[in-house]
Amino acid sequence: MSQAPVDVSSLGRVAVLMGGDSAEREVSLMSGAGVLEALRSRGVDAHAFDPAQRPLGDLQAEGFDRVFIALHGRHGEDGTVQGALELLRLPYTGSGVMASAIAMDKVMTKRVWRSEGLPTPRWVWLAPERQQREVVMAVPDEIGLPLIVKPPREGSSIGVTKVTGYSEMQEAVRLASRHDPDVLCEEFIEGEEVTCPVLGSGVSAKALPVVRIQAPEGAYDYQNKYFTDDVIYHCPSGLPAAEEAEIQRIVLEAYRSLGCRGWGRADLMIRARDRQPFLLEMNTSPGMTSHSLVPMSAQAAGIAYPDLCVRLLADARLDSGSTPGGAA
């Protein structure tokens, strides 16, 4: 996936947004540190900026020209910081306000995908007024056991429980509701977990190589994602070529249907009994840590980590489509 070299002097003064106030702050700080070092190694005038410690208005006051968003979770990839940057007229990496907001909400994402005929596990949405015991205990009757209970607007497997029996339902819903007033109960797909990044926008968007994830006892949780080396990642995936191509096709459709741009990463499960892939979620500000999957996939496609960061930064824009030096 070769691309013309980027003139880093044209990128101007760059802020790397990192940290923030979401439950994923710790991961964001790791992502931001990696991005900052990578950009500087390519000669970009890049600076760390933590919006949990400074007002976003300082970005404009300090003469920044564009922003690399290395925030994760709420107030980072849910459309809120994107909206603020739109008002400041500061081009930023990744998806715009609408796509970020929809993708952050797994229930809204699934509604869009289902309307487009894309495969996603069956689900039950429990709004706060639908979390009484009798409603909660009826969920397994609708989508079966085991099932997954999660907060629909969190990431990094925070607040997620795999439920194997009716007796576990109430506590799983209680845990998820600590992170989000709404709770998503989702059919469990038995099989292999994979992820597939996308670079670009619209018809020019391209899917990167699929990464197959092999976690200890299937526990691809917060700890294993970021703080252990127990997970085995296969990239190349080792999947049959036709299967990988089908996953990439579905992911591109999923990405475009949400209106994503710049970059993203879809997580999927491949059902063991018939090899049917199911879309779980779309990440519009994926991790960029040493354990992260987009850099791994990009490397397999011949794109080094620093070049990936520069490429994403060069594609920074506003919802209006304007870029630094362009028409507003």
Q: Give the mean model confidence (pLDDT) for residues 130-150.
A: 97
Catalytic status, residue 122: no
Given 65, 154, 187, 281, the catalytic residue: 281
| CA pair distance 26, 239, nearest whole angstrom | 33
| CA pair distance 43, 123, nearest whole angstrom | 47
Q: Which residues of the chain form CATH 3.30.1490.20?
A: 123-187
Label residue 290 by pLDDT band (50, 70, 90): confident
| CA pair distance 93, 25, nearest whole angstrom | 18
Catalytic status, residue 226: yes
Q: Which residues of the chain form CATH 3.40.50.20?
A: 8-93
- 29's enclosing H/E stretch is helix 25-41
Catalytic status, residue 267: yes
The CATH T-level fold of domain 8-93 is: Rossmann fold (3.40.50)
Catalytic status, residue 174: no
Q: Give the mean model confidence (pLDDT) for residues 49-57.
A: 97
| CA pair distance 71, 289, nearest whole angstrom | 12
The values of phi and psi at residue 157, to 5°, are 65, 20
In this prediction, residue 327 carries a pLDDT of 37
Given 19, 34, 76, 287, the catalytic residue: 287
Given 191, 267, 292, 305, the catalytic residue: 267
Which one of 3.20.20.70, 3.30.110.70, 3.30.1490.20, 2.60.40.1220 gives the CATH number of domain 123-187?
3.30.1490.20
The torsion region of residue 181 among left (phi > 0), alpha (psi -120 to 50) and beta comes to alpha
Given 257, 283, 285, 292, the catalytic residue: 283
191-250 residue pLDDT tens: 999 999 999 999 999 999 999 999 876 655 555 555 557 889 999 999 999 999 999 999
Task: Classify domain 102-120+190-306 by CATH number.
Answer: 3.30.470.20
Q: Which residues of the chain form CATH 3.30.470.20?
A: 102-120+190-306
